[in-house]
Structure 1
Amino acid sequence: MTPLGREEAQRRAAEELSKPGYAHESLLDRLYRTFQQLLGDATDFAPGGSPVGALLAALLLVLFVVALVTVLVWLARRSARATTAPGDLFDGRAMTAAEHRQAAERLAAEGRWAEAVQERLRAIARDLQDRALIDGLPGKTADELAAEAGRSLPAFAEELAAAARAFDDVAYGGVPGSPAAYAMLRDLDERLRLARPVAS
């Protein structure tokens, strides 16, 4: 059997790959085929299959695996950042209670009540954390905040639960927010700042 020239082999490969069976090739199959082609090209590069060709093939294999792992890690991290757990009180920003209050007042002045409600509850949460009335906040939901703060400040437990519901309604329930909801949270925030915890 006469060996095929490079151009003839490429033509036959293109004909083969244009058949309907290859139209729905999976990503893994495509990656494997590309990798096989790269290995073949690397070994063809060195005449007579010398050790240099084998070394080049091994180097390509290592580079391919490193690139694949890098892409998979990047995709996993991106996916983890994009999927914040429903109910998560904070959205990754590190702001002080005063900064959250300022943002809430600005949003309220603009009539953006849903966002103003969220920022005001974040101000409450940050203030309670700063005063060591609740534990650290990463991943904490509004309901968890209300339950934990309610143990330290039992006189405010019902109001904190109502504030958590208002936050969840506007953040996840599609409720547009209102001046009344914001006023309730602002009043609660101001009274909580003066409150002292009950000794356990």
Structure 2
Amino acid sequence: MSVIGAAPPGLLTIFDDIGRDEARRKAVEELIRPEYQQESLVDRLIRIVGEFFDGLLDSTPGGVPGGVVALVVITVLIAALAGLIVWQARKATRGRRAAQEGLFGTGELTADEHRREAERLAGESRWAEAVRERLRAIARDLEHRAIVAPQPGRTADELATAAGAELPVFADRLARAARLFDDVTYGQDPGSAQDYATMTTLDDDLRAARPATPATAGARPSAGGR
């Protein structure tokens, strides 16, 4: 059987043997049809898939092995596509949330207050939260010591870049700490005791470090120091 021949008319335009530009134009024309305008992306995908399967099943003679194989293959492909869409949507949401909240979120604590909160959370085995608080302690401490300038909305990556420029020997460890922060904050990583120990060791080492260059120009200690 012809799988393409079983597709509804809207999908046939996508599978025609046409050039890239023409395919793009036809896809746009298909998606801007009036009946699509009130649908969400997910609803639209479900409806198009439903139409495709209806056409496929209507044109498949009973008991034809090729039809079953085609159905299985298409189901797998659609499941993979749906998974990719969900993953991309979650990634975009995490990115927007990161840009809005930054490293500190809405909190205004000193470095020592962040450390005490981190220890409390670690004592309850809440590793993701403990890791976050420990990196926040690192950031506040670096700001208080004028190694990096205070910056509202700063992300973990931005902190690692700024601090790594002043403390080059710690640049790689700071970058790894930033990735760990992002993983437990936006990537649904639960964290672990080892992750927290890594962050704590970095904090302790940074407290004893001195910048290789003069303090960041214009930086001033924050009011809520260590």
| Class of the TM-score when normalised by the shorter of the 2 chains | 0.5 to 0.7
Q: Distance in 1 between matches of 2:160 and 2:105?
A: 18
Which structure has the bigger radius of gyration? 1
Extract structure 1 runs of 4+ deviating beyond 6 A: none
Structure 2 residue ranges without an equivalent (≥5): 1-96, 215-226
For residue 139 of structure 1, what is the aligned residue in structure 2? Answer: 153
Letter in 1 for 2:180: A
> Is 2:211 the partner of 1:197?
yes
Map of 1:148 onto structure 2: 162
Residues in 1 aligned to 2:160 and 2:108: alpha-carbon distance in whole angstroms: 20
TM-score (ref. length: structure 1): 0.57
Partner of 1:98: 112
Rounded Cα–Cα distance in structure 2 between residues aligned with 1:127 and 1:199: 17
Q: Is the 8 A contact 1:87 1:168 kept in 2?
A: no
Contact 1:87/1:142 (8 A) holds in 2: no
Q: CA offset at residue 137 of structure 1?
A: 3.1
**Which amino acid is the alignment partner of residue 154 of structure 1?**
P
Would the alpha carbon gap of residues 156 and 84 (structure 1) be closer, same or farther in structure 2, given more than 3 Å must change? closer
Q: 1:182 aligns with which of 169, 181, 196?
A: 196
* 1:56 counterpart residue number: none
CA contact (8 A) 1:87 1:172 kept: no
Identity of aligned residues (%): 58
For the residue of structure 2 that corresponds to 1:85, the secondary structure is helix
Write the mapping of 1:71-110 to structure 2, written as runs, cut at 5 A. 85=99, 88-110=102-124
Q: Which runs of 5+ in 1 are unaligned?
A: 1-82
Question: Structure 1 131/154 Cα, relative in aligned 2: closer, same or farther at 3 Å?
Answer: same
Q: 1:78 maps to which residue?
A: none
Q: How many correspondences in the alignment?
A: 119
- The structural deviation recorded for 1:84 is 6.3
Matches of 1:121 and 1:87, distance apart in 2: 15
Partner SS for 1:157: helix
List per-residue Cα deviations over 1:37-96 (Å, max 9, x = no partner).
xxxxxxxxxxxxxxxxxxxxxxxxxxxxxxxxxxxxxxxxxxxxxx66257101111100
Identify the residue that residue 159 of structure 1 maps to in structure 2. Answer: 173
Q: Which has the higher contact order (CA 8 A, sep 6+)?
A: 2
Question: Could you tell me whether the CA contact under 8 Å between 1:134 and 1:148 is conserved in 2?
Answer: yes
Q: Of 175, 187, 198, which aligns to 1:173? A: 187
**Cα RMSD over matched residues?**
1.7
Amino acid at match of 2:158: E
AA of the residue aligned to 1:170: V
Q: Aligned-pair distance for 1:199?
A: 2.0
Of the three residues 128, 143, 146, the one matched with 1:114 is 128
How far apart are the structure 2 equivalents of 1:90 and 1:141?
8
Encode CA deviations 1:141-188: one digit per residue, 9 max, x unaligned.
000000000000000000000000000000000101101110000000
Q: Which letter does structure 1 place at the counterpart of 2:120? A: R
